Structure 1
Amino acid sequence: MRIENRQNWIGELLNDSQGGGRASGASTTYERRVPGCNGYPKLSMGCDGLRSLPAPECEHGEFVFDPATVYVRSRATNALLSQHQTRGYCPGESAEPMSSTQIVFTAADFQELPLVGSGISIEPDHEEYIIRLPVIVVTDPSPQVLETDVLGTQILVRATPETYTWEWGDKGEPTVTADPGKSYPEHTVFHEYVTLGAFTITLTTTWTGEYSIDGGSTWQPVNGTAETTDTAEPITIGERVPLLTG
């Protein structure tokens, strides 16, 4: 005899009003039989592949559990933590996972987020700057938190600046630093131009990431970084010529 509606049978067996929920630590396992697939066709065998598996031979009179897709969700937030497929199996046996899809936020996912650049502030705020005097730059080191969706689950992503690469627009070497800079007179990031003209300052910020699938209670690192680029309005470098008056 085959158990055609595995979810409902387990719900009755466990007397669980959620119909197939089994608590374990911080997560609850929900078992769904294959025909519905619940909108997740990306598992390796797919729904049709699981349905085509032969039923196991169990002892006479025992129920045979159909193949199923198993979803593991957070007990606190109901966020989907993972999912896997199982073969059909007999009572007393464990459901053998066929394949698994974990909720993982990748570096590619991180790099596709609409991160906002950390910004450029140039000091002092002049229309023209003086050759061989420091042009001071400052940026905002604040992290930013965004929401996105993975496999139908809402997750939080926190991006934190790691390094700043300043391109000065002249022939000087870029400045790479973890320092966001400070204002005058404690300024720490600056550049002195040695030629006259108009120059455009560009800032590339490298961000590290963390993601949370439980509303921000716990965070996991993103295995990779993302970059944003800010470009300031061109500045003019001039010189002051002293005038003698008699």
Structure 2
Amino acid sequence: MLADERDGFCGVFDFQDCPAEPGQVVRFLTVQQRPVVRPDGTAVVEVPAGFAPGDLLEDWADVRTACIDITALNPPPSPDEVFTYFQRLPLPQLTTQHAPPGDGLSGLPVVFWTDSPATQTFTVDIRGFTVVIVARAEQYTWRTGDPAAPTLTSTEPGSAYPGHAAEHLYRSGTYSASLTVTWGATFTVDGSAPADVPGTTTTDGPPVTFDVVEATAVLTDPYD
């Protein structure tokens, strides 16, 4: 259907399916034009007296009815545009695992790792395009809670001892540690080849609190 304001009715046309290459948007359209007064007072036709910029001149004229490439009117999302969506995704807050799981001992390292998922996939709609964003944890920063060495970094999540990602020697006291994760991502648009998202974002995990105690040597009589 085509709304034609010249005659005030909707015309019926034999619309066609229009082939398109990947990433191309082609629609079967009727293109019309009508001259208007430009801001400088000129137009493609002679402008009668009393007409102001923006006023319509003459009548609508059909240019053509055909399959028309309109990709430029709604181009695929750019990497920078995808990045703005990436920054707002509900990325997970990864939890910190540590050992020993209870009190630590002064003079023995407390080790850290995380067993939370390091990859997340999201599908978002950006101006009618289906964009799949695959986020991956690129860097792990453990905040030790110790001013003497406030952060430890790793590119791996680690695992339980001895495969842990970071360790720290504490003095006796109470500490809260947490994990900040730096996320990068790739994306596809309507099934295109993956491309890098041009930037990273971070999430902060919940803190864990533990005590570090100092062991005291006690001499005993082996014959008691």
Q: Do the two structures share a fold, i.e. TM-score over 0.5?
A: yes
Q: What CA distance in whole angstroms lies between the structure 2 residues aligned with 1:31 and 1:118?
A: 49
Contact 1:200/1:231 (<8 A) preserved: no
Q: What CA distance in whole angstroms lies between the structure 1 residues aligned with 2:28 and 2:83?
A: 31
Residue from 166, 173, 194 that aligns with 1:197: 173
- After TM superposition, the structure 1 = structure 2 runs for residues 43-62 of structure 1, keeping only pairs within 5 Å, are none
Specify the code of the residue in structure 2 equivalent to 1:84.
A
Specify the code of the residue in structure 1 equivalent to 2:213.
G
Contact 2:187/2:194 (<8 A) preserved: yes
**Rg larger for:** 2
Equivalence for 2:199: 224
Q: 1:102 to 1:8 in 2, by over 3 A?
A: farther
What 5-or-longer segments of structure 1 have no aligned partner?
36-49, 72-82, 86-99
**Over residues 81-114 of structure 1, what are the superposed CA-to-partner deviations in whole Å (9 max), with x where a residue is unaligned?**
xx434xxxxxxxxxxxxxx533234322211100
Q: What CA distance in whole angstroms lies between the structure 2 residues aligned with 1:132 and 1:114?
A: 39
- After TM superposition, the structure 1 = structure 2 runs for residues 118-133 of structure 1, keeping only pairs within 5 Å, are 118-125=94-101, 127-133=102-108
Contact 2:95/2:178 (<8 A) preserved: no
Contact 2:98/2:112 (<8 A) preserved: yes
Equivalence for 2:155: 178
Equivalence for 1:84: 72
Contact 1:107/1:224 (<8 A) preserved: yes
Q: Equivalent pairs: percent with the same residue?
A: 26
- After TM superposition, the structure 1 = structure 2 runs for residues 134-213 of structure 1, keeping only pairs within 5 Å, are 134-140=109-115, 142-171=118-147, 172-193=149-170, 195-213=171-189
Q: What is the DSSP-based 3-state SS (H/G/I as helix, E as strand, rest coil) of the residue aligned with 1:158?
A: strand
Aligned length: 189
Contact 2:31/2:64 (<8 A) preserved: no
How far 1:212 moved relative to its partner? 1.7
Q: What CA distance in whole angstroms lies between the structure 2 residues aligned with 1:150 and 1:24?
A: 20
Contact 1:196/1:238 (<8 A) preserved: yes
* 1:102 and 2:76 correspond: yes
Contact 2:76/2:129 (<8 A) preserved: no
Higher helix fraction: Structure 1 or Structure 2? 1
* 1:116 and 2:92 correspond: yes
Q: 1:70 to 1:241 in 2, by over 3 A?
A: same
Q: What CA distance in whole angstroms lies between the structure 2 residues aligned with 1:31 and 1:53?
A: 25
**Over residues 54-88 of structure 1, what are the superposed CA-to-partner deviations in whole Å (9 max), with x where a residue is unaligned?**
8989xxxx96238x9954xxxxxxxxxxx434xxx
Q: 1:33 to 1:157 in 2, by over 3 A?
A: farther
Q: What is the DSSP-based 3-state SS (H/G/I as helix, E as strand, rest coil) of the residue aligned with 1:234?
A: strand
Specify the code of the residue in structure 1 equivalent to 2:151.
P
State the superposition RMSD in angstroms: 3.6
How far 1:164 moved relative to its partner? 1.1
Q: 1:147 to 1:25 in 2, by over 3 A?
A: closer
Q: 1:163 to 1:8 in 2, by over 3 A?
A: farther
Equivalence for 2:49: none
Q: What is the DSSP-based 3-state SS (H/G/I as helix, E as strand, rest coil) of the residue aligned with 1:165?
A: strand
Equivalence for 2:27: 30
Q: What CA distance in whole angstroms lies between the structure 2 residues aligned with 1:51 and 1:233?
A: 68
Q: What CA distance in whole angstroms lies between the structure 2 residues aligned with 1:184 and 1:233?
A: 18
Q: What CA distance in whole angstroms lies between the structure 1 residues aligned with 2:89 and 2:30?
A: 35
**Over residues 134-174 of structure 1, what are the superposed CA-to-partner deviations in whole Å (9 max), with x where a residue is unaligned?**
11111246311012221133321100111111110011141
* 1:241 and 2:216 correspond: yes
Specify the code of the residue in structure 2 equivalent to 1:235.
F
Contact 2:30/2:62 (<8 A) preserved: no
How far 1:123 moved relative to its partner? 1.9
